[in-house]
Amino acid sequence: MTSLFSGRRRWLAAGALGAALVAVAPVALAQSDTQARSAATGDRTQDVRAAIQGGSARNVILFLGDGMGQSEITSARNYERGAAGRLAMDELPLTGDYTTYAVEKNNPAKPDYVTDSAASGTGWATGVKTYNGAISVDAYGNPVPTILELAQRGGLRTGDVTTAEVQDATPAVLGAHVVGRDCKGPDETTAKCAVNAKENGGAGSIAEQLVQTKPDVLLGGGAKYFNQQVKAGKFQGKTVLDQATAAGYQVARTAKELAAVKSGKPVLGLFAEGNMPTNWVGPIAKQGGTPPSRCTPNPALPATQPKLAEQTRKAIELLNKPRSDKGFFLQVEGASIDKQDHAADPCGQIGETIDFDQAVAAGMAFARGNPDTLVIVTGDHGHTSQIVGNGAVSPGQTATLVTNEGANMTLNYGTALPGSSQEHTGTQIRVAGYGPQAANVVGLTNQTDLFGTLKRALRLR
């Protein structure tokens, strides 16, 4: 029987196949991939038993697909690899689900069944349930320590990577504490989060606090917030970017500059003014549906923008010091799965899921060569898209795509009226693991339990 852990070669081959199928005419799945999968069917008892490891991990890589529920994973798999194919994230051997609910502000005993990325991020990053919009503060607005901050205190190197603004909810929860997720720069914080504003004695905006927390690697978009001026303290009148360079950050703006970065100083990658542009474009879902279409590369995507897999490999390179030293904690977010789900844009959503999956493959290639690495792949909340029957009559908005198998796949978006942003859903979400402590994701857990798994794996206090 071929092991589920048959190594880096198959992973790299799978990634190459996925890249070759992007935005091309429909083709049949490669025969070698089908054979590899069929060889892994049957009795998996020994493979699962071998996957269960206790003890501790030297490194942890957390992959977070924002808004990536089971439907988003399935539609990406169908489009790119085929109904019988597998994505890189499907290959993690231990899987379960976790619940994602938030709580009401000032009333932590009362659940809010549909979470946003801020409350859900606070849950897995701190182990504490909070209200929608909160960034690593509890239901009463009190700061709570994050897994990244604890890792720093434990002497580990840390990284925070995203395709969104680095001030967006998921990257923000690891290194900032504010009462509202929109307080990304000093200007917004003065207007919306006065208690956090520096001129009022607070710790400052998300951008300022990320610089102060100082992860070793901070990559994504959001350059416009670093151009705002600090309103009080040592850097009053200077920009947040001035504060970052004074803290020792070397700044990269392009894939080429990122590739040239050397270890030794912290790295700030700012690859877009706002969110990084998406990889694919195609028809937007509408009432009555769309003609069957293929996804195509986004013509507005800058050639200078690094792919998420490139960011992941570089982050690992910078964080992975000699074996005699301590390890690292790294979070990698595929952010615009969520954002394109909101926009009822199936090609945008699927393209971001595939981009995220290629980053997972990069992380798993490292983990297979470094078995003391825990890899977790999950989402933060459910979202709107559903795969429905071709020709289905829906009161929602639908779009039909032609997959790489040459079949039609129709996606439905029905959680908001046309012209409005589609809404999250309150469903439980897949969580998968590989490496030490990964067995703790099996079954049904709470999103806050992931914090305990990460903390226990890294032996943090």
Q: Which residues are catalytic?
A: 117
* Nearest partner of 325 among 155, 78, 109, judged by Cα: 155
Distance CA 155, CA 216 (A): 12
At residue 442, the 3 state secondary structure works out as: coil
DSSP 235: T
DSSP 441: G
At residue 240, the 3 state secondary structure works out as: helix
Q: Which two tokens stand for residue 82?
A: 């085929």
For residue 391, count other CB atoms closer than 10 A to its CB: 10
Q: How much of the chain is in helix, strand and coil states, percent to nearest 5? A: 35, 20, 45
Distance CA 427, CA 430 (A): 10
**How far is C-alpha 348 from the chain's CA centre?**
15
CB 184 within 8 A of CB 233: no
The residue whose two tokens read 């501790």 is: 56
Say which amino acid occupies 47.
Answer: D
Task: From residue 177, give the alpha-carbon distance in Å to each of 126, 128, 182.
Answer: 11, 13, 12
* Nearest partner of 240 among 212, 273, 269, 278, judged by Cα: 212
> What is the dihedral sign for C-alpha 351, 356, 361, 365?
positive
